[in-house]
Structure 1
Amino acid sequence: MPRRQPGSSLTAARELYLEVTKDPSARPLVVASWQRSIEYAVKPGCIDAPYLENPNVDSPLARAALPIVTRLHEQLADDPVSTMITDRNGVVLSRTVSHEGLTTRLNRVQLAPGHVFAERYVGTNGIGTALASGRPVMIAGSQHYVEELRDFHCAAVPILHPVRRTLLGAFNLTTVRQGSAGMLMALARSVAGQIESEIAAISSRRERALFQDYMDACSSVRPGAVLALNREGVMMNEQLRSAVTGADHHALLDHAREIADDPRFEGTRSIALPSGRVAELRVSRSRRENSDAGAIFRVRVIGRPQPAPAVSAGAAPTRSGLGLVGSSPQWLRAVAETEAAFRAGSWLHLVGEAGVGKRTLVHAIHRAHGDGRRLEMVEAPLSESPHATEHWLRDVRELCAQPSTVVVLRDVHLLGDHLRRQLTSLLAHSDKAATGQLVIASQPSMVTTNQELDLLCGTSVELPPLRHRYGDIEHLARFFLLKYRPSGESSCSPDALTMLQRCPWPENVRQLESVIRGLARRPAGGIIQVENLPPECRVSSHKVLTTIEALERDAILRGLMDRNSNVQRTAQDLGISRATMYRKMRRYGIVPSSLT
């Protein structure tokens, strides 16, 4: 095929695509990949692989592959061949290469750890096409979509979970040698098979370890209710099964999964259940051979179920005196604790995911109990240059020195270590009796490791994410509909409300308000049906998605909606098998019946 100068347009790409389709040696898999690349509007004249700052290099796939790839690297010493492991999104997790010249050429095209080589960004290439098709592929020379990659020959093989058969990532071999396609593909298949076998062995050891620790907990002198889980499965004894049922059961599992996903967490955690009871969880980790096998929970349920407040049709329950929508026990407890701390004059640390309502809560409580004091919101500085941080710290010092002021420091989790230490020192040397009231707001996933700053606050309150506020989504949806359609022309059908309640809402109340605002602005009023909901609401999985996963989920949703929920046609158009399509739909919680 003719080479074109960098900067070729999509028109040139379409011309090359026609040449690919006419080439008798072109395989349907490559032709389909080029078609997808054109639809993604990938630029063939330049490489543009996004870069992730902190890819998960400690995943089960990466750990299983490390010793195998290390041995292979020793065998390929001085050969111009590179080995790579990627995750299922096409992020390069590791790369080994012993040939200096090849290293330079790979770096020049961004084929390095941290870069994303999914078809959506780089077009047809070994890694991206193997992941998109779910099949081993050999992409040689001019079969690459982006011109800068056409000097390379790549053999990539998807790596599947040995039990669930879900896609974990890919193993890729890249070289500049010609005429070695058969050998390269045979080697890539062999290594991928070894990695899958090692994953199976590790999974088996991990499952046995978790089961043994679970049995030890159940056979202790006073076992009580016991739960054990990891990403592979859940085990619970009869005491827990009978003590926690219905919505409480689902809430407990949701919280437990989030805790289990953090291998650093051990200790005690209390969570409010939808019934009004509190579950106290004593968490221990199951560890074997420096590997985390999961979490063991000893559960104690405290209190009795509380009757739900009676709410008239079309109304939204509010916290008395504050006007805050919501009646879930988790939300009411967080509001009560925040209100009590504020009224007592304590310095307060509010922790919550983005969009849960930290600012709304502070404004509501200030209106009710501010006693005429001025409320000042202080954002994290945009820059941590010496001039910017000095100016920011001076503003904080001056505001805190005014007893008639309530100072809210927002997004403290965004502060760098040095600035956080400076802020801690400033606040620690303040006379609380002569200063204004301080409220610190941060997100839980990035809470400061500087415990001294936390200890300066007399009270710490964690606001629950919307996915844990069971029952409040319906009330919030009604509230926002009334806010943006005061005439009351719009309402949600029962099916649409059910779909809204299934959503994971990663951006919490802020995202729900945005969705309802868009629905309320439709030219036609009336009842909002399922088909009126945007794609982001057509899922039921509570899994927090990466940006790339969200893009893939939305592409599948749009395809299904455009093709009247026809899974097979959508899979064909996306260039994946029907089995892969169903796996992705299960992963993202996409229900075909909700799309028609």
Structure 2
Amino acid sequence: MPRHQPGSSLQAARELYLEVTRDPSARPLVVASWQRSMEHRVKSGSLDAPYLDDPNLDSPLARAALPILARLHEQLADDPVATMITDRNGVVLSRKVSHDGLTTNLNRVQLAPGHVFAERYVGTNGIGTALASGRPVMIAGMEHYVEALRDFHCAAVPILHPTRRTLLGAFNLTTVRQGSGGMLMAFARSVAAQIEGEIAAITSRRERALFHDYMAACSSVRPGPVLAINRDVVMMNEQLGAAVTGPDHYALLDHAREIADSPRSEGTRSIALPSGRVAELRVSRCRREDSDAGAVLRVRLIGRPQPGPAASAAPARTDPGLVGSAPQWLRAVADSRAAFVAGTSLQLLGEAGVGKRTLVEALHRAHGAGRRLETAQPPPSDSPAVTERWLHDVGELLAVPSNVLVLRDVHLLGDPLRQRLGNLLTQLEGTATAQLVLTGQPSTVGADDRLGRLCGVLVEVPPLRHRHGDIERLARFFLRRYRPSGESRISPDALTMLQRCPWPENVRQFESVMRGLARRPAGPVIQAEDLPPECRVSSHKVLTTIETLERDAILRGLMDHDSNVQRTAQDLGISRATMYRKMRRYGIVPSNLT
């Protein structure tokens, strides 16, 4: 490889890249990685590996790899070699080093547990390039994109799931010795194969344990419908397959996956299905050797399927602007209406965009005659002067009994301000005050939240992905709103695609899509190819938290930029080619995009 010329700017990296591409000894894999590094706008003169506190050491990969790394550490005693295991995002989960000098050097470049060594952050390196390319790689010295890493020689091998062959992470060997790269790579391949073999054994034991509990549930005196599920497998008996079909089937699986992904989910819970029936789930965890193998759900169906379109008419007439007949939505509307009419304080919890504000405004139009609807948002800063003024304004609004005061996004309030607001509400108890409505997101509000307990009624507003049956009704509603003079229908294929979309921004995003479709010149029937790319999510793979955030960022970007891939890619700081790769990875199917 050519010698590096001083300089840390992107221009210096481009100049060195041109030298790399002209070097006859340059490997195509390294050249491609450098190109990706420049697309990610990585700075070659500075190293910035993000840090994630408390990396997940309870994953199947970590459980399989850590004992092997511990044995390997003993064998490599006093050798200046570091062994590491990372997850699929490049987060270093574990590092073993026997040589103090090497430990100091690794810490200097942040190559330590918790730091992320994906290409998008640190450019070409063993870990990131192995993960990005899906191939074993040897990155030596000047092949590293960032200057600070060029003292190291790294051999990294991707680790794949033994049956699904999906990427789990990588094994990495790092040294400062210039020796045989072939020997280092052979060693890394051998260790990675051992880790994959151990994962296969663990997976087999895990799935056998889940199968054992599933068979026990099916063999009981009165088994009924039974479902067993984890991240890798889904098992269901004939009774469940026959009893739950169509949209109910997909809705049940969606809920079951969320339950299986949470090791604390156990006991009995009820889920409203799109047909109007209720599925009562008795959840048992399958635990073996201090690990969770999934969940076995015994299912009891309550009620009969309800006729479709007519069900939404009643709430729409009672509370104008509210559309939907999904049981979870109807329950949220009914509980909110009862609290509102009674003048009871109300807390609405739900993901962003589910319709909390729309629900309150509709209730006020229908049942708030003579009362003024006031809204307050969290203060723009935590400075004492600003928060003091905010509390004063809230107190004045609460002092008017004819007001309905909506405090929006209370999950954004800091703990001190939440405490002070709670004290204010406590002081006002027993006096004539405005009716209080709090709105917030459930994932950020703790179960012991004092502010929430001060409200008389708590209502959870369901996300759109749990309202399969309402997609068609909402589509008709928004098309009539934004194309009042035209008659538009949605083809079955397009409707299916809309129902399968994850809708990270919920009804807010759905309305934006329908508004765009209504304003485009199109025929009377909206076909699947007319839908924007954010609706073309066909992948059902289980995503990590980081992947989910990245997918949702892409979907939001496409929504904000009217499906323009180039502008979305520019906003995200990636190239158009990278954007298309990520869209394919997440099942966002491109159509005629710009």
Q: How does 1:309-388 map to 2 (within 5 A)?
A: 309-310=309-310, 318=316, 320-384=318-382
Moved more, 16-25 or 97-106: 97-106
Q: Aligned letter for 1:155?
A: A
Q: Aligned letter for 2:319?
A: G
- Structure-2 residue corresponding to 1:412: 410
Distance of aligned partners of 1:103 and 1:397 in 2 relative to their CA distance in 1, 3 Å threshold: farther
> 1:505 aligned to 503, 506, 511, which one?
503
Q: What CA deviation, in whole Å up to 9, does each residue of 1:249-288 have, x standing for no partner?
A: 2211111111211112222221111111111112221111
Correspondence 1:302 to 2:266 = no
Distance of aligned partners of 1:28 and 1:476 in 2 relative to their CA distance in 1, 3 Å threshold: same
Tell me if the contact between 1:230 and 1:261 (Cα under 8 Å) persists in the aligned partners: yes
Partner Cα separation in structure 2 for residue 584 and residue 35 of structure 1: 19
CA drift at 1:67: 2.2
- Structure-2 residue corresponding to 1:435: 433
Tell me if the contact between 1:126 and 1:155 (Cα under 8 Å) persists in the aligned partners: yes
Tell me if the contact between 2:504 and 2:552 (Cα under 8 Å) persists in the aligned partners: no
Q: What CA deviation, in whole Å up to 9, does each residue of 1:10-47 have, x standing for no partner?
A: 4x333323322333332222122223333444333333
- Structure-2 residue corresponding to 1:185: 185
Partner Cα separation in structure 2 for residue 534 and residue 92 of structure 1: 37
Correspondence 1:207 to 2:212 = no
Partner Cα separation in structure 1 for residue 150 and residue 489 of structure 2: 55
Q: Aligned letter for 1:504?
A: P
Correspondence 1:138 to 2:138 = yes
Q: What CA deviation, in whole Å up to 9, does each residue of 1:354-401 have, x standing for no partner?
A: 111111111211222223333333334455566665555555555444
- Structure-2 residue corresponding to 1:569: none
- Structure-2 residue corresponding to 1:3: 4
Distance of aligned partners of 1:555 and 1:303 in 2 relative to their CA distance in 1, 3 Å threshold: closer
State the TM-score, normalized to the length of structure 2. 0.85
Distance of aligned partners of 1:397 and 1:269 in 2 relative to their CA distance in 1, 3 Å threshold: farther
- Structure-1 residue corresponding to 2:232: 232
Distance of aligned partners of 1:549 and 1:184 in 2 relative to their CA distance in 1, 3 Å threshold: farther
Partner Cα separation in structure 2 for residue 311 and residue 278 of structure 1: 16
Distance of aligned partners of 1:297 and 1:402 in 2 relative to their CA distance in 1, 3 Å threshold: farther
Q: How does 1:220-299 map to 2 (within 5 A)?
A: 220-299=220-299
Q: What CA deviation, in whole Å up to 9, does each residue of 1:520-579 have, x standing for no partner?
A: 555x56566544543322213465664556657999999xx99xxxxxxxxxx979xxxx
Q: What CA deviation, in whole Å up to 9, does each residue of 1:475-504 have, x standing for no partner?
A: 333444444455549776654444323211
Distance of aligned partners of 1:456 and 1:302 in 2 relative to their CA distance in 1, 3 Å threshold: farther
Q: How does 1:144-155 map to 2 (within 5 A)?
A: 144-155=144-155
Tell me if the contact between 1:55 and 1:93 (Cα under 8 Å) persists in the aligned partners: yes
> 2:454 aligned to 453, 456, 463, which one?
456
Partner Cα separation in structure 1 for residue 158 and residue 484 of structure 2: 53
Q: Aligned letter for 2:9?
A: S
Partner Cα separation in structure 1 for residue 400 and residue 201 of structure 2: 63
Moved more, 444-453 or 137-146: 444-453
Partner Cα separation in structure 1 for residue 431 and residue 554 of structure 2: 56
Q: What CA deviation, in whole Å up to 9, does each residue of 1:60-92 have, x standing for no partner?
A: 222322222233334444544333322222233
Partner Cα separation in structure 1 for residue 87 and residue 304 of structure 2: 46
- Structure-2 residue corresponding to 1:570: none
Q: What CA deviation, in whole Å up to 9, does each residue of 1:72-114 have, x standing for no partner?
A: 3344445443333222222333334454544444344343444
Q: What CA deviation, in whole Å up to 9, does each residue of 1:137-186 have, x standing for no partner?
A: 00111111222322221111101011111111111222222225233323
Partner Cα separation in structure 1 for residue 154 and residue 587 of structure 2: 33
Moved more, 160-169 or 330-339: 330-339
Correspondence 1:47 to 2:47 = yes
Tell me if the contact between 1:89 and 1:549 (Cα under 8 Å) persists in the aligned partners: no
Q: Aligned letter for 1:8?
A: S
Give the superposed CA RMSD.
3.7
Partner Cα separation in structure 2 for residue 115 and residue 328 of structure 1: 44
Tell me if the contact between 1:89 and 1:169 (Cα under 8 Å) persists in the aligned partners: yes
Q: Aligned letter for 1:447?
A: V
CA drift at 1:331: 1.8
Correspondence 1:86 to 2:105 = no
Correspondence 1:474 to 2:475 = no
**Percent of aligned pairs with the same amino acid:** 74
- Structure-2 residue corresponding to 1:60: 60
Tell me if the contact between 1:319 and 1:325 (Cα under 8 Å) persists in the aligned partners: no
Partner Cα separation in structure 2 for residue 153 and residue 316 of structure 1: 69
Q: What CA deviation, in whole Å up to 9, does each residue of 1:316-355 have, x standing for no partner?
A: 9935333212233322222122112221222222221111
Tell me if the contact between 2:398 and 2:433 (Cα under 8 Å) persists in the aligned partners: yes
Structure 2 alignment gaps of length 5 or more: 559-563, 566-575
Tell me if the contact between 1:377 and 1:410 (Cα under 8 Å) persists in the aligned partners: yes
State the TM-score, normalized to the length of structure 1. 0.84
Moved more, 533-542 or 204-213: 533-542
Matched residue SS, 1:263 = coil
Matched residue SS, 1:5 = coil
> 1:515 aligned to 513, 516, 522, which one?
513
Partner Cα separation in structure 1 for residue 122 and residue 25 of structure 2: 22
Distance of aligned partners of 1:489 and 1:16 in 2 relative to their CA distance in 1, 3 Å threshold: farther
CA drift at 1:508: 0.9
Moved more, 437-446 or 269-278: 437-446
Tell me if the contact between 1:230 and 1:295 (Cα under 8 Å) persists in the aligned partners: yes
Matched residue SS, 1:407 = strand
Tell me if the contact between 1:413 and 1:448 (Cα under 8 Å) persists in the aligned partners: no
Tell me if the contact between 1:227 and 1:237 (Cα under 8 Å) persists in the aligned partners: yes
Structure 1 alignment gaps of length 5 or more: 563-572, 576-580
Tell me if the contact between 1:34 and 1:124 (Cα under 8 Å) persists in the aligned partners: yes
Partner Cα separation in structure 1 for residue 29 and residue 243 of structure 2: 53
Distance of aligned partners of 1:317 and 1:386 in 2 relative to their CA distance in 1, 3 Å threshold: closer
Partner Cα separation in structure 1 for residue 96 and residue 392 of structure 2: 49
Tell me if the contact between 2:583 and 2:590 (Cα under 8 Å) persists in the aligned partners: no
Distance of aligned partners of 1:151 and 1:516 in 2 relative to their CA distance in 1, 3 Å threshold: farther
Partner Cα separation in structure 1 for residue 237 and residue 347 of structure 2: 37
Partner Cα separation in structure 2 for residue 189 and residue 221 of structure 1: 50
Q: How many residues align?
A: 573
Q: Aligned letter for 1:307?
A: P
Q: Aligned letter for 2:336?
A: T
- Structure-2 residue corresponding to 1:171: 171
- Structure-2 residue corresponding to 1:566: none
- Structure-2 residue corresponding to 1:158: 158
Tell me if the contact between 2:85 and 2:170 (Cα under 8 Å) persists in the aligned partners: yes
Q: What CA deviation, in whole Å up to 9, does each residue of 1:408-435 have, x standing for no partner?
A: 3333334455554555555455425633
Correspondence 1:109 to 2:119 = no
Distance of aligned partners of 1:52 and 1:97 in 2 relative to their CA distance in 1, 3 Å threshold: same
Matched residue SS, 2:183 = helix
